Amino acid sequence: MLSLSIRLTRPASLALKRTMSSQEQDVIFETLNNAGVITLNRPKVLNSLNMSMASKLLPQLQEWESQKALVIIKGSGEKAFCAGGDVKAAIDKVEGPQFFHKEFNVNYLIGKYKIPYVALINGFTMGAGLGLSVHGGYRVATEKTLVALPESKIGLCPDVGGSYFLPRLQDNLGLYLVLTGDRLKGKDVVKAGIATHFVPSKRLNELEVLVSHCTNDLEVNALLSKFHESSDEFSLASNIKHINYCFAASTIEEIIERLEKVKNDWSEKTLKTLNEMCPSSLKISLRALRLGAQLDLSQCLKMEYRLVCRAIENHDFPEGVRALLIDKDNSPKWKPATLAEVTDDYVEDYFKKLPQDKELQFFDSKL
């Protein structure tokens, strides 16, 4: 077991051996003792993941799997680990599928990684940020951590393996989070099962240096357990029974009916939120999570790739990005415009296999 008595004689930044220059690099790879350290380095855009970053992450992670004892990933700055993907590029009909293809391969590699993978999810952690963290063995939240899944608000559906990990959260929390986009903060992220440990942000540098000396999962787990501070009561505790009941329904319409019966401030707020979401996203997301509960990660990612490719080709995803992120008029015009217009056939079309040469393929060797 690793002792906490290792002396911290110099800052982590001075102890690191850099494998590439940090100047203008959107992702930095360094060596600290036994660990490969990844820093997502686009702080001005909250370290959002783009094609360039995903293209660098995949081969480096593949190389380090046989060279390092563990990998640590973190975000640059104090505001974000990774606040999502570069959705403006993702809606491009050529670049979008290529980006998701690369990103999903990174998610899959993390999910089957053979050495400890420690994600320090300090600050905003949304969308792509969850894909870069939640599939690994260790996710360390801080009081600054804020997790959200805003896909339904921009006409998208769960991606980055969301259809795998979300239905596996307790009490139908996963479905609640993806349909409403509700945010979890700090220790709530551990309570929900998205993070594995909670450590105050002021101790992250100390933790990073110490964990970099670890050589296996036993040592990593023991060290993180010593740093971990137990969670307070879950902020959703008073409504968890309502979440579990309402979001166990088999259709969006039935979820709404159950919420209407609850009649409290939480249910009224939730109903208002659902009314603001993209109708097709709600129904597609529900079906994706119901299916994903019975699938493994690779199958979920293949399913999600079909969904995002079709979302790029259809109206709602580009329209959501336009309304929320480009023009910022916050007035998306959804097509179909209502839940009633989103037919079963419409939903099913999203899940059909792509042409064989367009399906998601996983890269098992170095690129």
Q: What does the H/E/C string look like for the chain? A: CCCCCCCCCCCHHHHCEECCCCCCCCEEEEEECCEEEEEECCHHHCCCECHHHHHHHHHHHHHHCCCCCEEEEEECCCCEEECCECHHHHCCCCHHHHHHHHHHHHHHHHHCCCCCEEEEECCEEECHHHHCCCCCCEEEECCCCEEECCHHHCCCCCCCCHHHHHHHCHHHHHHHHHHHCCCEECHHHHHCCCCCEECCHHHHHHHHHHHCCCCCHHHHHHHHHHHCCCCCCCCCHHHHHHHHHHCCCCCHHHHHHHHHHHCCHHHHHHHHHHHHCCHHHHHHHHHHHHHHCCCCHHHHHHHHHHHHHHHHHCCHHHHHHHHHHHCCCCCCCCCCCCHHHCCHHHHHHHHCCCCHHHCCCCCCCCC
Contact yes or no for 71/109 (Cβ under 8 A): no
Q: How far is the C-alpha of 301 from the C-alpha of 56, rounded, in Å?
A: 20
Can you name the residues that pair with 148 across neighbouring β-strands? Answer: 126
Query: What distance in Å separates the CA atoms of residue 260 and residue 267, rounded to the nearest whole number?
Result: 7
Per-residue confidence (pLDDT) for residue 4, from 0 to 100: 37
pLDDT for res 367: 34
Confidence at residue 218, expressed as pLDDT on a 0 to 100 scale? 98
The backbone torsions φ and ψ at residue 72, rounded to the nearest 5 degrees and listed phi first, read: -115, 135
What pLDDT is attached to residue 1?
Answer: 41
Radius of gyration for the chain, computed over Cα atoms and rounded to the nearest angstrom: 20
The domains located in the chain, with CATH, are: 12-148+193-227 (3.90.226.10), 237-356 (no CATH)
- Give this prediction's pTM: 0.91
Residues of the chain below pLDDT 70: 1-24, 364-367
